[in-house]
């Protein structure tokens, strides 16, 4: 398990790395990829891609401050005119990072358009690179995970948005990589159990009000493919009391007993 940190001030980031390391993770990861305005426009996340020398200096200081491996997640560049990732990767490796994950878009793209994996492949193919390179962006099916791994030669694939409301996506990808066949999708009982766990942890972390509100964006993904689910989703995204939400969830297995998802489903 890794702890990821982000920020724009070198001294603060060094201190954050020391605090993170004291919690006992396996690695400390630096986020140089987040594109959201409140992060990037403060010079943190992908914002630091506008100042590569500072990015390198910050990384050097964090590596020096940590006994654990330090890794980096970043993007191709700030915009189409600054896709310097091949050079940047070398410089980050030279100051001591031990793995690099690259999202195949610029900050200007946010999450629009198609991720460009050709530059991720160029980093991996660079004979000067010897640390693991992980690719990220648009991996939304097991087939694409295998195809992109094989095409671009990356050491691994990072999965983000495709796992939202679908935590079993990782095992489906691994099963396809190992066998070339699709794993059975999770059954209704597993989906409900996952939602219950997610809900309870969301409430425990954020409190009842915010925990319930933040869960609302996930229900459609968790129950994707379940026919005639709309009335239940409507209830789940409008109810405000935890117990009322739990009652709706408890009623789903019985109501949909025997229902078929739009795809292979495990018993």
Active site residues: 34
Residue 229: strand, helix, or coil: coil
Lookup: tokens for 96: 């001591």
Kindly give, in sequence order, each residue whose CB lies less than 8 Å from that of residue 240, ignoring residues fewer than 6 positions away.
209, 212
Distance (Å) of CA 203 to CA 29, 211, 221, 249: 27, 4, 19, 15
Q: Are 95 and 56 in contact (CB under 8 A)?
A: yes
Distances (CA, A) of 184 to 58, 187, 265, 266: 45, 9, 5, 5
What is the Cα gyration radius of the chain? 21
Beta bridge partners of 72: 30, 100
Helix pair 85-94, 118-125: axis angle to 10 deg: 40
Cα 245 to Cα 256, 257, 259: the distances in Å are 17, 19, 21
- Three-state DSSP class for residue 72: strand
Q: Which of 72, 76, 137 is nearest to 108 (CA)?
A: 76
Alpha carbon distance 77, 24 (integer Å) = 31
Residue whose C-alpha is closest to residue 35's, from 22, 20, 25, 50: 50
Say if CB 162 and CB 169 are below 8 A apart: yes
């Amino acid at each position: 398990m890794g702890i990821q940190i982000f920020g724009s001030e070198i001294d603060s980031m060094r201190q954050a790395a020391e605090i993170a390391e004291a919690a006992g993770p396996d690695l400390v990861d630096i986020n140089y990829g987040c594109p959201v305005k409140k992060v990037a426009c403060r010079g943190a996340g992908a914002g630091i891609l506008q100042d590569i020398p500072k990015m390198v200096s910050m990384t050097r200081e964090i590596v020096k401050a940590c006994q654990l491996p330090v890794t980096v997640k970043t993007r191709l560049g700030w915009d189409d005119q600054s896709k310097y990732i091949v050079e940047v990767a070398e410089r980050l490796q030279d100051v001591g990072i031990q793995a690099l994950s690259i999202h195949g878009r610029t900050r200007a793209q946010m999450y629009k358009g198609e991720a460009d994996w050709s530059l991720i492949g160029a980093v991996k193919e660079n004979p000067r690179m010897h640390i693991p390179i992980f690719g990220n962006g648009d991996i939304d099916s097991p087939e694409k995970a295998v195809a992109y791994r094989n095409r671009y030669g990356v050491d691994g694939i990072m999965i983000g948005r495709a796992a939202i409301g679908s935590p079993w996506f990782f095992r489906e990808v691994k099963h396809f990589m190992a066998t070339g066949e699709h794993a059975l999708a999770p059954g209704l009982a597993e989906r409900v159990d996952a939602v219950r766990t997610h809900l309870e942890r969301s409430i425990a972390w954020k409190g009842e009000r915010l925990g319930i509100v933040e869960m609302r964006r996930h229900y459609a993904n968790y129950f994707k493919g379940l026919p005639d689910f709309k009335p239940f989703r409507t209830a789940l995204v409008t109810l405000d009391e935890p117990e009322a939400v739990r009652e709706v969830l408890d009623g789903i297995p019985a109501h949909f007993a025997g229902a078929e998802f739009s795809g292979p489903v495990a018993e």
